[in-house]
Amino acid sequence: MDSLGKARLLAVLVPAALLGGAYVAQYSFGLPPCEMCWWQRYPHFAALGIAGLSFVIQPARVWVALAGFAIITSGFIGGFHAGVEYGWWEGITGCSTLPSSVDVMNVSAAPLIRCDVAPWTLFGVSLAGFNFLISCTAGAAIVALAAYRK
């Protein structure tokens, strides 16, 4: 398989695997996403669509590279979110603060999902942290492979 084929395969598999993992965590393990978790999913959705275009529209290298940049974008959002979870900096959304008692009375039965609390960690790394690590390294590899020419 040439470098473009490898990049194309990664551009589809990486966001599909990360989105699949997010949905397994959500629906199988009861970890509903916060607002910032959703922000991380959107570039992966875009990456899947853009990577799909690389199979039908030329030049494929451009589409694969764009998919790689979308994956890296999700990784940077994940890195920011992980920093919020670890308390390195404050988040920019309302999901990083506790609601007032008035807000609690007006909220429906929907659970309050905090952005500044990691619902799950492995070796001290949250899901957002893993997204950062995987997306940035895989995204960079995709862009590099797409740029490589024989």
Q: Can you give the pLDDT at residue 47?
A: 96
Name the burial class of residue 50, with classes exposed (0-12), middle (13-18) and buried (19+) by CB atoms within 10 angstroms of its CB: buried
3-88+115-147: what CATH class? mainly alpha
Q: Can you give the pLDDT at residue 92?
A: 85
Q: Can you give the pLDDT at residue 4?
A: 86
pTM for this model (two decimals): 0.86
Q: Can you give the pLDDT at residue 97?
A: 61
Q: Can you give the pLDDT at residue 111?
A: 64
Q: What is the mean pLDDT of each run of 10 residues along the chain (150 residues)?
A: 87 95 95 94 96 94 93 96 94 69 55 85 94 94 81
Give, in order, the Cα–Cα distances in Å from 90 to each of 82, 97, 99, 129.
Answer: 11, 10, 16, 16
